Structure 1
């Protein structure tokens, strides 16, 4: 597998993303998937609050909606500015990745087996971005098998590392999709080398 190493790789990704999302259907897929991903990420980090207060709470509807909106980055206090930015970028990459994967599978007649690297990148990205606390809990369980559960207290960013790993995995997945389309055409335009 090739890794992005220079600005030409970044230009390739930007051009391919732009070409794929120049179709209204794929742009809508990117936007809707990114929005759904953001909602899943936010709710997964506050599942008990969401279920007990927003869904089945006794508060008035406007109060429950205020609690719900307070869970989102830059609206409420659940995330720091850095966490909010990372979460929004992960959601955007999630949407772009799915639209590019769908394009590759449908338009270029690539089998799911050939596109499985991107699907795996998306799955790992979702797991990492969905819940830094859950990622920490799962990792603690695994590390405790080896007697090293206390290592997690050494994480300098309190679980933000999992979202950053998700971001890297999704970015690599988008790059590998764009690289896989290299030398072909996307919506009638050639994707350069």
Structure 2
């Protein structure tokens, strides 16, 4: 499967059957694998025929079955991306340089209305996500074994390996960007 020609697609939300027949189906001429990036309910609730809904369910079932065959796993959306942290003003556990970088992003993003945010207050009000290290401690506390595969869904974790270090000490098997 790794040698197959493939493409990652971001499907357009709430699309009708024509979108899948005309735009997506034509991709099969060039690619052997079409991976749905950040797939959620893109095929649900938009009045597609039952056979298309069945295909959607079957694909997710097969993916889940494959993941389970490797042992215990968790798909996790940390909410620890640069833009999310900049928007919310959450800087707990970050270096001064990183906090300043996020402040600069917030100030330079014109459509974000709130510019001056107190990070300590945000955290005390529980408006901030847990840090990757805190999530690792939490999952370990819940009893997940250290061989649990963790699939980091969504965007790139801000700070990369620096902030994932504490996380991977307790849960050492992880992959970023969804279930690959």
Greater share of strand residues, 1 or 2?
Answer: 2
Q: TM-score, normalised by structure 1?
A: 0.25
Q: Which gives a bigger RCO, structure 1 or 2 (Cα 8 Å, sep 6+)?
A: 1
Q: TM-score, normalised by structure 2?
A: 0.26
Determine which structure has more spread, i.e. the larger CA radius of gyration: 2
